[in-house]
Amino acid sequence: MLFQPPISPSYSKLSSKQIAERIAEHKRNFGDRLVILGHHYQQDDVLEFADFNGDSLKLSQIAANQNAAEFVVFCGVHFMAESADILTDDTVKVILPDLSAGCSMADMAALDQLEDAWAFLTESAGETFVPITYVNSAASIKAFCGEHGGACCTSSNAAMVLEWAFKQGEKVIFLPDQHLGRNTAYAMGIPLDEMVVYDPKEPDSGLTAEQAKAARVILWKGHCSVHQLFNEAQCDAIRANEPDRKILVHPECSWEVVQKAHLSGSTEFIINTIRDAPAGSKWAIGTEVHLVNRLTKTHTDKDVRSLATIQCLCTTMYRISPTQLLWSLDELADGRVTNQIRVTPDIKHWANVALDRMLSNVASAPKAISQLVD
């Protein structure tokens, strides 16, 4: 487990203006040697300092293309910083401003659990399994998939990755998010009764060998704690009371929610859909609240709000603040690379194999999983 080093109480005495001025000064002094990345779900007062913003894989790819960069500060969560370290040159140091910024979904799949699942499934079914992991996973999980003939996927290209996987073997194990796996496979025409769930916490009392043998898709019992907050009742209320408001959700939402939505797609798909929507259109969006609020402020000619009436925010992402960012830059300026995220060479190699399979075998398909439900 990673532990966040304590920060001097003196930081709490700084005003927002002082913090902003000091961060700006560090950026000027470091110049092209420093790249700050900000994920879509990050707070606005952090994103204003980012050189680039986007989803996790896009940001890691951008970081890898910054030839002059020596330091990459990733304002996101732990698995994102790992991905940046995997894709960047060994001379680049990747820093996470707060080590407590993890991801509950990624934490739902540990390497030892996957090894146990793999042994059970391959022995039970006696057929070729292809492991596919969502990029929202630990580097060790990505590496396992790479070493065992599998690949990574994003919410944008999950359908194309699954199509590739079924050309490699009879069955797919999809982790760590069961909802993305189920929604993608169903949209591809695979019926629900050909999908089963493997629970790593109850491997002996859950999925049977007979069920594993009969299924085409094994879904890992994991989920996003944010998208789990959206439910059918919220969709029913919109459709009953505001029939002119379209429901747009991320495929990390449950199958039931996706079926009751008008549209479902990746974060980029959501952003582009709202951008291209006609003025005056009304939308209820099922994804992280910081992104929804940003879309509301950006597209004032449209009526955009969250699908839920509660605050659906990524609490671990929320741990990174301008204060944490300043502290990490102060440490760098003083010659200390604090909170560096390092992926071991062996894991980096096999994780790269999994990522390369995704990028080389399945071209980017932003609307592959999107669907229209009348």
Tens of pLDDT, residue by residue over 165-190, are 999 999 999 999 999 999 999 999 99
pLDDT score recorded for residue 203: 74
Q: Is the pLDDT of residue 374 over 50?
A: no
Place 1 in a pLDDT band, splitting at 50, 70 and 90.
low
Q: Is the pLDDT of residue 342 over 70?
A: yes
**Count of structural domains, the chain:** 3
In a domain, residue 313? The reply is no
Rounded Cα distance, 327 and 97, in Å:
8
Q: Is the pLDDT of residue 363 over 70?
A: no
Q: Are residues 199 and 245 in the same domain?
A: no
Q: Are residues 116 and 91 in the same domain?
A: no
Q: Work out the angle at residue 77's Cα, subtended by the Cα atoms of residues 134 and 87, and round it to the nearest 5 degrees.
A: 65
Q: Are residues 57 and 167 in the same domain?
A: no
Structure token digits, residue 289 = 């609240």
Q: Are residues 64 and 110 in the same domain?
A: no
Q: Which domain holds residue 206?
A: 106-224+351-372
In a domain, residue 1? The reply is no
Q: Are residues 114 and 214 in the same domain?
A: yes
DSSP string, 256-299: HHHHHSSEE--HHHHHHHHHHSPTT-EEEEES-HHHHHHHHHH-
Place 361 in a pLDDT band, splitting at 50, 70 and 90.
low
Instruction: Give the number of other CB atoms < 10 A from CB of residue 206.
Output: 14
Place 205 in a pLDDT band, splitting at 50, 70 and 90.
low
Percent over 90 (pLDDT), the chain = 76
In a domain, residue 2? The reply is no
3-class DSSP state of 69: coil
Rounded Cα distance, 350 and 355, in Å:
9
pLDDT score recorded for residue 125: 78
Is the pLDDT higher at 243 or at 44? 243
**Whole-structure pTM over 0.85, yes or no?**
yes
In a domain, residue 50? The reply is yes
